[in-house]
Amino acid sequence: MGYSIIQLSLRFAKLKKKMTVRNYFIEKIPMIENSFYDYFLEIIKQFGNQMRNALIRLGIQSGDTIGTYVNNSSHYIIFILAAISIGAILVPLNPSYKIC
């Protein structure tokens, strides 16, 4: 039987031992049905590696600063993960932010 995210959250809240959220979910993810986690993680890894390789081809190195001016999206999350894996520093500029 699998657990919903809400059930996992409630179980996490009841834990008495010290455990990080990350470790808790890694421990409990195998309970989720249909191996959705494995599929989702594999897609993130594939896109992340493609983005990381593209950044490296552009000459981005560890410690470089990257200014980004994009809306929030799933692609932006992949970009963040790719940049962090290289060691680059992100400076997000949100186009939705307006000064009155």
Handedness of CA 50, 86, 93, 42 (dihedral sign): positive
Distance, in Å, from the CA atom of 98 to the CA atom of 100, rounded to the nearest integer, reads: 6
Greater confidence (67 vs 70) lies with 67
Q: Which CATH architecture has domain 35-100?
A: 3-Layer(aba) Sandwich (3.40)
Handedness of CA 85, 89, 95, 100 (dihedral sign): positive
pTM of the predicted protein model: 0.58
29: pLDDT strictly greater than 50: yes
Summarize pLDDT for 71-91 with one digit per residue, the tens.
Answer: 777 788 888 889 999 999 998
Q: Tell me the average pLDDT across 14-42.
A: 65
Where, residue-wise, is CATH 3.40.50.980 in the chain? Answer: 35-100
Q: Which of 46, 42, 47 is nearest to 73 (CA)?
A: 47
Residue 64 has what pLDDT?
94
Residue 1 has what pLDDT?
45
